């Protein structure tokens, strides 16, 4: 069976909703499960596409190995590898400084802008306060899942936008 080129795979993926999951969503999915895990499962099932950057991966690694969770390095390596295999890895070319109070939050904005994502899912108050960044919607996990489940019932296959800001 011929191997599909990455180019062909990306063209097929372009029809799916593309999200950036903030590091806190990945961490919550791994450590606690719940709604963040449901979102990650949507990506595993191929229902959504996710993008990630090295900065987001480094933050996940630092938190999981840090004093709060103390995951063994070998386990963290396996988690990071799984995320890399699941997500499109992007390298943001331009820095963004929209959130001066917490500059690390800008990494999610950079990743979303570079990847052409439709949205960011985060539990971070600074990001959520923005609600949008250009055409990129910013939702918490619960908001995203409620919208996703509703849209699956009512959306035509070619529609892929996120809900309007309230």
Q: According to the model, what pLDDT value does residue 153 have?
A: 75
Mean pLDDT on 34-45: 97
What does the block give as tokens for 76?
């963290």
Helix/strand/coil for 43? helix
Domain residue spans of the chain: 16-152
**Phi/psi at 136 (nearest 5 deg)?**
-90, 120
* Fold (topology level) of 16-152: Rossmann fold (3.40.50)
Give yes or no for residue 2 having a pLDDT over 60.
Answer: no
Give yes or no for residue 4 having a pLDDT over 50.
Answer: no
Q: According to the model, what pLDDT value does residue 166 have?
A: 44
pTM: 0.84
Q: According to the model, what pLDDT value does residue 163 have?
A: 60
């Amino acid at each position: 069976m011929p191997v599909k080129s990455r180019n062909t795979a990306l063209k097929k993926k372009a029809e799916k909703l593309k999200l950036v999951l903030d590091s806190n969503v990945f961490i919550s999915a791994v450590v606690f499960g719940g709604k963040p895990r449901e979102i990650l499962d949507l990506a595993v099932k191929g229902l959504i596409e996710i993008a990630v950057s090295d900065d987001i991966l480094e933050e996940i690694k630092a938190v999981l190995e840090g004093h709060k969770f103390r995951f063994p390095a070998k386990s963290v390596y396996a988690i990071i590898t799984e995320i890399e295999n699941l997500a499109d890895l992007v390298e943001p070319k331009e820095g963004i400084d929209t959130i001066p109070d917490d500059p690390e939050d800008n990494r999610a904005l950079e990743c979303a802008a570079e990847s052409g994502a439709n949205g960011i899912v985060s539990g971070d108050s600074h990001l959520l306060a923005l609600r949008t960044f250009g055409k990129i919607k910013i939702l918490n996990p619960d908001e995203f899942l409620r919208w996703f489940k509703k849209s699956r019932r009512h959306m035509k296959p070619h529609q892929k936008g996120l809900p309007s800001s309230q």
